[in-house]
Chains A and B, each alone.
Chain A
Amino acid sequence: MKAWTLASWTLAAAASAVVGWAAFAPLSVDSRDEPFEIPKGTWARRMAGNKVEILPQRIDLTLGLNDQLLLRNLDDVPQQFGPVLVMPGQSFRLPFEKASTYSFDCTAHASGQMTIVVADAPVTPWERIVWRWERLRKKTRA
């Protein structure tokens, strides 16, 4: 019983430490780029009748953290990324400086639109926790 209580307390302390860190530690990222790549062979796969989607219909960015959309074309032919025609081996980096919702023409999506939502950097402890959680979810999905 005593060992059980001690383990519970240790677990609670560890959880508090993680939440405290997530709420109060300064946010930092290795790069401000939010990258999307067209892999080599994409054109061939499309020509073979496969559906290949690179850009999601909605992209979320955060000012000061990941506020640069980076599109890379690793294929052998020019590729249209939303509104941008990117040549083979070329990249396109689009910075954002204002929090807003941006709509771009995008023939790849049924709606004909691609939306980029740029949010202000998290300020409150709760916003930091949410941002870290979303970041973690994105990384684990990738």
Chain B
Amino acid sequence: MNRAARFLLALSLAATSLLALAVDPNPINLKAGVFDPPQPAAEFPAGVHATDQGDLTLARWHGKVVLLVFGFTHCPAVCPTTLATLAQARKLLGPDAAAMQVVYVTVDPERDDLAHVRDYLAGFDRSFVGGTGQPPVLAELRRRYGATAQKIPPAGGGADYGMSHSTTIWLIDRAGRLRALMPFGHSAEDFAHDVRQLTALK
């Protein structure tokens, strides 16, 4: 290969690399909805207590892919389905599950104290960490993520109210960036796929 050909080859390789970087330095193909560009996920406000220890902060899981869920333990359908799906996703991931952390924050602090949330989550997967706190603190956390929650009075009176709440799952990458949002109803395979993709990101 003569000098001119070598120069042209080097030039084309450099141009290709630059183009690849310009298009997307971190190409991902998720089943979830993707934010572009990703931005740092909002830190939790002080006063959200964790079911395992101390305050619940996002910084604790730097280096892991965090799946953030808002729900309540009296939820009849959405929460059990979501948590069972996430537990199944962890099984599918095998040893890679160590890179995934499910965080479940209640929208019903009136009934969900720490012990109750802890016992509830243990029924799905002992690695799941829950959070609860004073209503204004939890409302502020939901505001930061655009999540919603609303009390539904019992149809026939009584004390057994329901809660309408966001059913999507927030996916935060290992560097603490809010990457994606998975709508309710996706399979464990989809979650495992996305966690693998996010784990592979630099």
Binding site for B on A (CB under 8 A): 69, 78, 80, 83-87, 90-95, 97, 102, 104-105, 107, 112
A-B pairs with lowest CB-CB distance, top 7: A85-B146, A94-B33, A91-B36, A93-B34, A80-B146, A87-B39, A83-B168
Q: Known contacts A105-B148, A105-B166, A105-B167; decide if A83 and B181 are in contact (CB<8 Å).
A: yes
Q: Contact between A86 and B35 (Cβ–Cβ < 8 Å)?
A: yes
- B95 interfacial contact with A, CB 8 Å: no
Contact flag A90-B39 (CB < 8 Å), given A83-B181, A85-B146, A105-B148: yes
Q: List 5 A-B contacts (CB under 8 A).
A: A80-B146, A84-B168, A85-B145, A87-B35, A105-B166
Chain B contact residues, CB within 8 Å of chain A: 31-37, 39, 145-146, 148, 164, 166-168, 181, 183, 185
Q: Given that A80-B146, A85-B145, A95-B31 are known contacts, is A104 also in contact with B36, CB under 8 Å in the complex?
A: no
Query: Is chain A's interface secondary structure helix, strand, loop, or mixed overall?
Result: strand
Beyond contacts A85-B145, A105-B148: 6 other A-B pairs, Cβ-Cβ < 8 A, are A69-B33, A83-B166, A94-B33, A94-B34, A104-B183, A105-B167
Among B35, B145, B148, B166, the residue within 8 A (CB) of A92 is B35
Q: Using Cβ atoms and an 8 Å threshold, which residues of chain A touch B181?
A: 83-84, 92, 94
Q: Is the CB of A93 within 8 A of B36?
A: yes
Docked-complex contact A90 and B168, CB < 8 angstroms: no
Q: Give B146's nearest chain A residue, CB to CB.
A: A85
Q: Which residues of A contact B146 (CB under 8 A)?
A: 78, 80, 83-85
Q: Which residues of B contact A95 (CB under 8 A)?
A: 31, 33
With a CB–CB cut-off of 8 A, which chain B residues contact A94? 32-34, 181, 183
Q: How many angstroms from the CA of A78 to the CA of B144 in the assembled complex?
A: 10
With A and B bound together, what is the CA distance between A97 and B37 in angstroms? 23
Chain B residues whose CB sits within 8 angstroms of the CB of A92 once the complex forms = 33-36, 181
Q: Which residues of B contact A105 (CB under 8 A)?
A: 148, 164, 166-167
**B193 to A: closest C-beta gap in Å:** 11
- In the assembled complex, the CB of A78 is this many whole angstroms from the nearest CB of chain B, namely 8
Closest A residue by C-beta to B150: A112
Minimum CB–CB distance for B73 against chain A, Å: 20
Residues of chain A with a CB closer than 8 A to B39's CB: 87, 90
